[in-house]
Structure 1
């Protein structure tokens, strides 16, 4: 008889204790087989999401204004024969034409052509600086990567400054300074190119600016 009374008391206590359990604990089936802790957290808290593993790199769209590649050579009217002859004396004549022809204002003497080529180089250097700045500002970059891109940004900035000094020296007909400033551009841009991979957006810019600067030096060499 005492055993039966104890069993009844046990079942009564078990019944009331089940009523006191929180409903989500009493009904939760537990995580599905193979489910991770993060899956269970997301299921219970749909407003919480895990942070992305990486951030997208900023989009660097090429600027047509500075697209001085051979594929963007001027079309339509044939280039001025005097300009064509001067560009043929450079290592990259098609690039020379695409750099100078659209911006030449009638004058086709060597100094005027060199002045336009220098101005185009200065503008392209600024575009390279802006591109490097955007890439360096990507928060997903490892610190070492951002440091390299910042150095390239400084290299393009210095190149633009040197182009400006070359333009001033050309006005003074100081060809020695013109050549010195242009040669320094190749050095600064070469330092950047040596530290980046060939698939970097900056690589094609360093390559193009180096060719543009080489053309400027070639044109400078034929000034009497």
Structure 2
């Protein structure tokens, strides 16, 4: 009799486990896989994954938290780039013209940071808004403007007698934040908000 009960309990347990397993979503099973899958839709997937995987614990499998992390990381990187470029502008041996071009570049990056901060604020408030589609359009517009500002930073270098070393260093920094911004926009474009 006891043997029959054990078998009954075992069969019922297996049946329940199979039902639970069948009802689980087929989404990625780990946060890393979630981030990896999400980043595969971006223009720079390796950069995206390297940037966001350190935030895996806080992201979980939440697309909104993923976008928030991407924006925070991009804003942080942009601040570092603005600081680095400011130091370049203060170096001895840089001409007044080069300093002016670099100052314009810094201003463009600061504009980009402001636009990303607006996007971040809007994302953090959007869940309680009835005008989500309108807010998402604003976010996408701000992010697109941030990408333009990042690119405009180095446009001032064209046709100038600026040091190649200065151009290259600033160019590398700006390209990186442009890519981070592009990835953040790509993740935002995949949000479901209706």
Alignment TM-score, normalising by the size of structure 1: 0.62
Task: Give the structure 2 partner of residue 204 of structure 1.
Answer: 172
Distance 1:206 1:100, change over 3 A: same
**Deviation readout 1:124-172 (Å, 9 max, x if unpaired):** 1101110111111123211100000111111111221111111001112
Task: Give the structure 1 partner of residue 152 of structure 2.
Answer: 191
Tell me which structure has the larger Cα radius of gyration. 1
Which whole-Å CA distance do the structure 1 matches of 2:32 and 2:95 have between them? 49
Q: Does 1:167 align with 2:120?
A: yes
Task: Give the structure 2 partner of residue 121 of structure 1.
Answer: 74
Which whole-Å CA distance do the structure 2 matches of 1:133 and 1:154 have between them? 10
Q: Does 1:97 align with 2:49?
A: yes
Give unpaired runs (5+ residues) of structure 1: 1-77
RMSD: 1.7
Q: 2:108 is matched with which residue: 137, 155, 172?
A: 155
Q: Which has the higher helix share?
A: 2
**Deviation readout 1:28-84 (Å, 9 max, x if unpaired):** xxxxxxxxxxxxxxxxxxxxxxxxxxxxxxxxxxxxxxxxxxxxxxxxxx9611111
Deviation at 1:210, TM superposition (A): 1.0
Distance 1:167 1:117, change over 3 A: same
SS in 2 for 1:138: coil
Task: Give the structure 2 partner of residue 31 of structure 1.
Answer: none
Query: Within 5 Å, which residues of 2 pair with 1:44-123?
Result: 80-104=32-56, 105-123=58-76
Structure 1 stretches of 4+ with a deviation exceeding 6 A read none
Which whole-Å CA distance do the structure 1 matches of 2:63 and 2:119 have between them? 15
Task: Give the structure 1 partner of residue 160 of structure 2.
Answer: none
Q: 1:214 is matched with which residue: 182, 187, 190?
A: 182
The answer to which structure, 1 or 2, has the higher relative contact order (CA under 8 A, 6+ apart) is 2
Give unpaired runs (5+ residues) of structure 2: 1-29, 127-134, 158-163
Task: Give the structure 2 partner of residue 177 of structure 1.
Answer: 138
SS in 2 for 1:127: helix
Deviation at 1:213, TM superposition (A): 1.0
Task: Give the structure 2 partner of residue 134 of structure 1.
Answer: 87
- What is the aligned length? 147
Task: Give the structure 2 partner of residue 61 of structure 1.
Answer: none
